Every structure is written in structure tokens, then in C-alpha cells.
Amino acid sequence: MLFGVYSPCTHLHASSHDLAGKGANIAAMWKYATILFAALALFFALRPTTLEAQQGSNSLVFVNTAELFRAHPAGQAAAEVQQRARDELNQLAESLSPLAQKISSGQPLSAEERDSYDLLRRSIESTEERYRQEFEQAAAPAQADIQAAIDAVAQENSYNIIMDGNVAGQAGIGLVVYAEEGLDITPLVVRRIR
């Protein structure tokens, strides 16, 4: 599982009559992956460490986990896997599109078209699963290194809480409504993972 949560590809299974849903789900995979990386930092930053650390000064900083992931060689490899997945899934979705449009308009499919439609749907599902597994394998070293770097920087600088700035400030989530300039420690963590 990616960062202790399920993979960005797990929500890509749309109904067999919803090609638009497939396209939206492919796009959602990328948005979800970014949010997932951000959630990693938030999860580990908010977990209790020791009673002494919780009683010390309240030092809260921010990090951009998506940037950290892009900076790590394994993160770059995982991004290449994502790009290959996007390309292949888009091709499959384009092949499925005429049949899905025909179904949406209420036109019946011939037996050959139905077989083709079912085969394409299964191909999309198996391709999503294959790339999900490949992505998780490619991303695993980055996940471990990023967490270790965040932990080390937090301990060295006595940070009590490290939040992902992208998630914390996202519209709709609004975990942080104000933050002083200079609280982004992403460059410190990037130096650790390179």
C-alpha cells in the first residue's frame, strides 16, 4: 500500500457504461497521488512521538511531499510509471469510447461489439492493477527515504509538527488559515534525500 493507504489506482474502476468516468478517474489518479503523498507527511507529522516532545515548544512547519517525491530518484521512476500508465490507459479509453457512446445513446451493440467492449473493459482494469503494483514497487524506496529524512530534520530542529503545506492549505480542507512566511522546510528535507 502506498504510504500506508491504498493506491491512487484503486478508485479507477468505473461502471461499464461510463467512459467519461474512466477518463475522469485517470485524471483523478494523478490528483489522488499528489494528495496521497501530502497525506503521508500529515500522518507522520501528527503521530505522537514522546511525551517530552509534546510538552516542549510548539514548533509547526510545513513540507511539500509532492516536491520531495519528485526530487527522489525512486520518485522520478514512479512518475515515469505513472506517465506510461496514463498513456496506455488513454489509448484503451479511446478504443472504448465509440462503443461506450453507442451504449450511452441507447443503441444496441452487436455480439462482436459487446465482446470487444467487455475485452476493453477488462484490459483497462488489468492495466490499472498492473500499473498500480508497478507504481507501488517503484515508489517504495522514495517513501522510506522521505519519511526517514522528515524524521531526521524534525528531530535535529525540534519540530513538533510537520504538515504538508499543499494539503493543509487546500481549498475545502482549510486546516491552516494563516502561516508565517519561512515555515516551509522542504529544501532541508530535499538535501537529505539526494
Predicted model pTM: 0.60
pLDDT tens digits, one per residue of 128-148: 999 999 999 999 999 999 999
Tracing cell 489518479 back to the chain, one arrives at 29
Average pLDDT over the chain, rounded to an integer: 78
Task: Delimit the domains of the chain by residue range.
Answer: 8-193
**Phi and psi at residue 29, in whole multiples of 5°?**
-60, -45
Between CA 176 and CA 132 the distance in angstroms is 32
Q: How confident is the model at residue 74 (pLDDT cuts 50, 70, 90)?
A: very high
Cell of 80: 515515469
Q: Taking 80 as the threshold, does the pLDDT of residue 172 lie above it?
A: no
| pLDDT attached to residue 9 | 41
pLDDT tens digits, one per residue of 57-66: 558 899 999 8
Between CA 164 and CA 159 the distance in angstroms is 14
Q: How confident is the model at residue 23 (pLDDT cuts 50, 70, 90)?
A: low
Between CA 168 and CA 39 the distance in angstroms is 9
CB 37 within 8 Å of CB 166: no
What is the DSSP annotation of 9-76? GGG----TT-HHHHHHHHHHHHHHHHHHHHHHHHHHHHS---HHHHHS---EEEE-HHHHHHHSHHHH
Which carries the bigger pLDDT value, residue 48 or residue 96? 96
